[in-house]
Structure 1
Amino acid sequence: MTVVLAPLPGRVVALADVPDPVFAQQMVGSGVAIEPARGQGPLTVVAPISGKILKLHPHAFVIFGEKATGVLVHIGIDTVKLEGDGFTLIAAEGDTVDAGDPIVSFDPAHIDTTGYSAICPVVVMDSKPDTVESSSVGGDVATGDTLFDWSA
């Protein structure tokens, strides 16, 4: 069992409610999304699991953990088009991290000004649709709260 922590504070929403069909239809994998908290200035996004940072972009990262579990955190929708504007990398690709270690910071209010959605999908890579269940959907989470448990 892998415990996946909330990488940032906000309201938990179902992937079906993410305004991107790739995530909404769970093509990347099953999970949930977090609508980031506003009004706190920049937020630090942390590692949801312990492991190695397999991929790191300003707008997204994948951590490969124990039991061959990869977790993707995607910061916003279509935010790749910002080419890093508004994001600050804290960690580096290839780093080994513990759950809760800081990875990147961004300001959701800045993303709001670009017209893109700041919603952040948190997905178990290559998992079958609807295999992640979270009792947190519809509620608020703080950074580091348990978002969901994953068992392959």
Structure 2
Amino acid sequence: MSLEVGSPVEGLAAALSDVPDPVFSQAMVGPGVAVRPAGGRADAVAPIAGVVATVHPHAFVVAAPSGTAVLVHLGIDTVKLQGEGFELHVSKGDQVTAGQPVVSWDPSGVEAAGYSAVCPVVALDQAPEALADLREDGPVRAGDTLFAVEA
């Protein structure tokens, strides 16, 4: 059985290797896809249905009932913004549906502060071969499938 992982934001899909951070570009935390978000304030949505395992203003993890966990990181080095410009809509332990708003943020504001707004979407603790149907280029809307994970 496979689990479809949706884009948390609207923008342009890109290869994870294009992310300007070796932790993501070298898939140290797991394989996935990146999304270069469209500008302007927007909601980042849950990529899968499940439980919010971790939530910070700049990043969150949703774990599916199968145990597969997906990390969404809103920008690179955005932890340095200390939550400024991010608004959480969920808490750790909450059940979420795919496409449910998790964090509101402003990618343009992140870039204006000197950080990359690119969003890595990573299947944690998965081998690259566990992913299928990777979408690594072209426009995506929030909720569009980025890849599938064998669950």
* Equivalenced residues, count: 150
Distance in 2 (CA, whole Å) between partners of 1:2 and 1:133 is 10
Q: CA RMSD for the aligned pairs? A: 1.2
The runs of at least 4 aligned residues of structure 1 exceeding 2 Å deviation read: 129-136
Indicate conservation of the 8 Å contact 2:33/2:135, yes or no.
no
- Which letter maps to 2:104? S
2:115 equivalent in structure 1: 116
Q: Deviations over 1:40-71 (max 9, x none)?
A: x2110110000000000000000010211000
Change (3 A) 1:31 1:13: same
2:15 equivalent in structure 1: 14
How far 1:114 sits from its partner (Å)? 1.1
Indicate conservation of the 8 Å contact 2:48/2:64, yes or no.
yes
What stretches of structure 1 of length at least 5 have no aligned partner? none
2:141 equivalent in structure 1: 142
How far 1:26 sits from its partner (Å)? 0.2
Indicate conservation of the 8 Å contact 1:45/1:105, yes or no.
yes
2:27 equivalent in structure 1: 26
2:84 equivalent in structure 1: 85
Distance in 2 (CA, whole Å) between partners of 1:26 and 1:96 is 27
1:46 equivalent in structure 2: 45
TM superposition score normalised by structure 1: 0.94
How far 1:135 sits from its partner (Å)? 4.5
1:67 equivalent in structure 2: 66
What stretches of structure 2 of length at least 5 have no aligned partner? none
Indicate conservation of the 8 Å contact 1:31/1:133, yes or no.
no
TM superposition score normalised by structure 2: 0.95
